[in-house]
Structure 1
Amino acid sequence: MTNYLIDNAGVLIGPVEFPVVPGLGVEIPSNAVRLTQPLEHAKPGHVWVMVDGLPEERVDYRGVVYRTDNGKSLLWREVAELPNTVTAKAWPGTHYYWTGDDWELDQSALAAEKKAQVLLERDTLMQHAQLRIAPLHYAEQLQLITQDEQTALLGWMRYCVELNRLEQSPEFPMNMEWPVPPTVGTP
Structure 2
Amino acid sequence: MPILVNGFFDENGWIDVYTFSETTAEYLGRRATYASSGCGLPAGATLEEPPEAGDGEVVVWRDEAWVVVPDYRGPVFQTADGAEVKHTMPGELPPELTTLPRPSAAHLWDGLDWVLDAALDLQLQSQQEQTWIESELRLAGREVDKHQDAYLGAISTESAWRTYRNELRAWPASALFPTKEERPVAPSTS
Which band: TM-score by shorter chain?
A: 0.5 to 0.7
**8 A contact 2:161–2:186 mirrored in 1:** no
Q: Which has the higher contact order (CA 8 A, sep 6+)?
A: 1
Offset from partner CA, 1:45-103 (integer Å, 9 cap, x none): 22222333222222222333322112233333333322212223334453332121122
The aligned runs of 1:3-152 (5 Å cut-off) are 3-8=17-22, 9-14=24-29, 16-18=30-32, 29-35=42-48, 38-133=49-144, 146=152, 148=153, 150-152=155-157
Distance 1:11 1:130 in 2: 64
| TM-score normalised by structure 1 residue count | 0.67
Change in 2 beyond 3 A, CA 1:95/1:55: same
Kindly indicate whether residue 169 of structure 2 is the aligned counterpart of residue 164 of structure 1: yes
Give the stretch that moved more between structures: 126-135 or 87-96: 126-135
How has the CA–CA distance of structure 1 residues 121 and 54 changed in structure 2, closer, same or farther, with 3 Å as cutoff?
A: closer
Q: How far apart are residue 137 of structure 1 and its match?
A: 7.3
1:158–1:63 Cα change, 3 Å: closer
Contact 1:155 1:182 in 2 (8 A): no
Task: Provide the aligned length of Structure 1 versus Structure 2.
Answer: 172
Distance 2:188 2:73 in 1: 59
Q: Which residue of 1 aligns with 2:9?
A: none
Change in Cα spacing, 1:120 to 1:76, as seen in structure 2 (3 Å) is closer
1:4 is displaced (CA, Å) by 1.0
Percent of paired sites with the same residue = 21
Output the TM-score relative to the length of structure 2. Answer: 0.66
Cα offset, 1:5, TM superposition: 0.6
Residues 175, 169 of structure 1: CA spacing in aligned structure 2 closer, same or farther, 3 A cutoff?
A: farther
Alpha-carbon distance in 2 for matches of 1:33, 1:175: 65
Shift of 1:123: 3.3
